[in-house]
Amino acid sequence: MSDELHRTVAAARGGEPDALRELYRRCRPLVVRLLDGLGSFTPDEVDDVAQETFVRAFKSLSSLRSDAHFVPWLLTIARNRGLSSLSKRAGARRALEELRLESWEQLDGSAEALQLELDAATVRELIAGLPAGPEKETVQLFYVEGQLSARQIAERLGVGKSAVTMRLERFRARIKRELLVRLAQRRRH
77 alpha-carbon distance from chain centroid: 14
Pick the residue with more confidence: 87 or 69? 69
Domain count across the chain: 2
Quote the mean pLDDT of the chain.
79
- In this structure, of 54-68, 82-96, 160-174, the range with the lowest mean pLDDT score is 82-96
Does 177 reside within a domain?
yes
- Any idea what the Cα angle at residue 86 is, between residues 140 and 92, rounded to 5°? 45
| Average pLDDT of the segment spanning 49-75 | 89
Residues 12 and 61 reside in one and the same domain: yes
The Cα–Cα gap between 5 and 47 comes to 23
For residue 122, CA distances in Å to 92, 102, 142, 153 come to 9, 17, 16, 23
In this prediction, residue 135 carries a pLDDT of: 86
Residue 95 counted as domain residue: no
| Collapsed DSSP state (helix, strand, coil) of residue 160 | coil
The whole-angstrom separation of Cα 136 and Cα 132 is: 6
Residue 103's pLDDT is what?
45
pLDDT reported for residue 102 = 54
62: left (phi over 0), alpha (psi -120 to 50) or beta: alpha
* The pLDDT of residue 128 is above 70: yes
| Residues ≥6 apart with Cβ < 8 Å to 41 | 35, 49, 82, 85
In this structure, the answer to whether residues 137 and 61 fall within a common structural domain is no
Are both 38 and 114 inside the same structural domain?
Answer: no
pLDDT greater at residue 143 or residue 60: 60
Strongest mean pLDDT among 50-54, 93-97, 148-152, 167-171: 50-54
- Residue 93 counted as domain residue: no
Integer Cα distance of 83 and 76 in angstroms: 11
pLDDT tens digits along 34-49: 888 877 778 888 888 8
Domain containing 80: what range?
A: 3-87
pLDDT computed for residue 129 by the predictor: 78
Q: What is the pLDDT of residues 171-180, one digit of tens each?
A: 888 877 777 7
Determine contact, residues 179/122, Cβ cutoff 8 Å: yes
Look at residues 32, 63, 87 and tell me which one is the last residue of a structural domain. Answer: 87
